[in-house]
Structure 1
Amino acid sequence: MSLLATLADRLATGAVEVVDLTAPLSAETPVIQLPPQFAQTAPFQLEELSRYDDRGPAWYWNNFRTGEHTGTHFDAPNHWVTGRDREDVASVPAARLIAPAAVLDFSAQVADDPDFLLEVHHVREWESVHGPLPAGGWLLYRTGWDARSGSQEQFLNADDAGPHTPGVSPACARWLAEEAPVIGLGVETVGTDAGAAHSFDPPFPCHAALMGSGKYGLTQLQNLALLPPTGAVLIAAPLPIVTGSGAPSRVLALVERR
């Protein structure tokens, strides 16, 4: 059998499982809240055009309105000022949308500290057990935050000081951008940066470093608990919006089940 025929057979028999890492997209999907002086992204909205009625007797369809960075979505390099002259989401090569993934699980640490930050030494410790991060692949940062996705309030977890969500330290963000072999970072939170990243030096280091180096982000992922630390293949499928800075995405993982 050819390689692709073998893959198709294993998908059919369940030897390779497809795990959906995508949050359902609806009006209840949590969206980021910026300080009031800045423009805000729109929550997801459906506008019914017809539903088997006099507006269209045999068909149901809708218009929809949403922000590029709503729900499970892809960050293209031009999303941040550091990557303003780099790829828009429609220009990302299709071959880069299918890549191996490493899953780093820090959900226990985040359960104790919602402001937990991933450091370079955490990644190095993971590599000492599981091997190096995959060249040309993704680092998926599991925090257990997807369990909060049913509630805007719990998902953003904000108080008077601002949001409290896990993320990556400035030093680790620079390392991921400049030294790590991965093409991007995937997280379960509303963005790749920590909730407190507005106060970091520099602010929002994941966005600044990753976008500036031509790397990508995936956010609001779910079901990372179903993936092994290594061996999964990630398929990220953003809408190819011309000049777009990102797009809602269906994100799938292929996992071999022995």
Structure 2
Amino acid sequence: MSDPRLKNLLDGLADGSVQVVDLTQPLSETTPVLVLPDPFANTPHLSRKRLSRYDADGPAWAWDVLELGEHTGTHLDAPIHWITGKEGEDVASIPPARLVGPAVVIDRTAAVAEDPGYLLTVADLEAHEVEHGPIQPGSWVLFRTGWSARANDEAAFLNAGAEGPVTPGPDVEASRWLAEHPNVVGFGVETVGIDAGAAGGFDPGFPVHNFLLGAGRYGLTQLANLDALPASGALIVVAPLKLVDGTGSPSRVLAFVER
């Protein structure tokens, strides 16, 4: 093998010095899905219809038909998901190299424990660069909040009250910062969407969707196991379906971490 960097990765996987961390939530009929208010259309929960199960319809095989939204479970948002990115890429058009890159983890777990609606700020993002070094080209910025602990309880996960959902996410200026940073490819969260629960009332509304997808970047939602990643130094691999005209896709998201 001519490239020692690739050999080092393969050797690390073989001897266990490089760990593969699954950042994907299990996908099932009970996976939480976003709930929009009337009169907007909502995505369904995953459902499945059996085709055969080692029976007369297929004596040696089992398979099902799935029905689910593009934005169900751990999933990627493509630029065309939002009106500001409607002339941009669908899921199938995303260059593969942009789906693999450095992972930058911004940890605000303690702050979110005190304030479930905590808003990530530019000061938070800049402080991370001061402490851990500049964000490298092709990076995915991942917002660690501890919210994945709620993933098995849809009501707690959506956390919707009389005033609407209360979940963490970036404020308007942090959303703009992420979209304009030359080295940020995408932004990932543990929550049901890349915006904060209150973001519908921001100006502009849903600023992460508005700025990030409008800038040709990508979103990742409902991530798990971010506590197993360092603040910097991990490698992330995002694997959506290569869905033509897809606005999004359920995805398997993996990270390579040095032990």
TM band (smaller chain)? over 0.9
Whole-angstrom CA distance in 1 between matches of 2:34 and 2:255 = 25
Considering only aligned residues, what root-mean-square deviation do their CA atoms show, in Å?
Answer: 0.9
The number of aligned residues is 257
Whole-angstrom CA distance in 2 between matches of 1:52 and 1:212 = 47
Residue 33 of structure 1: aligned partner = 35
Q: CA deviation at 1:9?
A: 2.1
Q: Secondary structure at the match of 1:183?
A: strand
User: Given residue 241 of structure 2, which amino acid in structure 1 is its aligned partner?
Assistant: L
1:94 aligns with 2:93: no
Instruction: Within 5 Å, give how 1:1-258 maps onto structure 2.
Output: 2-3=3-4, 4-257=6-259
User: Given residue 200 of structure 2, which amino acid in structure 1 is its aligned partner?
Assistant: H
User: Given residue 107 of structure 1, which amino acid in structure 2 is its aligned partner?
Assistant: T
Whole-angstrom CA distance in 1 between matches of 2:12 and 2:127 = 33
Q: CA deviation at 1:166?
A: 0.1
User: Given residue 101 of structure 1, which amino acid in structure 2 is its aligned partner?
Assistant: A
Over residues 123-155 of structure 1, what are the superposed CA-to-partner deviations in whole Å (9 max), with x where a residue is unaligned?
Answer: 111111111112211101000000000011000
Whole-angstrom CA distance in 2 between matches of 1:13 and 1:155 = 37
User: Given residue 100 of structure 2, which amino acid in structure 1 is its aligned partner?
Assistant: I
Whole-angstrom CA distance in 2 between matches of 1:17 and 1:119 = 31
Q: CA deviation at 1:180?
A: 4.9
Whole-angstrom CA distance in 2 between matches of 1:92 and 1:42 = 25
% identical aligned pairs: 56
Unaligned stretches of 5+ in structure 1? none
Whole-angstrom CA distance in 2 between matches of 1:126 and 1:7 = 26
Whole-angstrom CA distance in 1 between matches of 2:152 and 2:95 = 33
User: Given residue 166 of structure 1, which amino acid in structure 2 is its aligned partner?
Assistant: P
Alpha-carbon contact 1:43-1:66 (below 8 Å) kept: yes
Whole-angstrom CA distance in 1 between matches of 2:11 and 2:170 = 39
- Which 4+ residue blocks in structure 1 deviate beyond 6 angstroms? none
Q: Secondary structure at the match of 2:103?
A: strand
Whole-angstrom CA distance in 2 between matches of 1:231 and 1:67 = 33
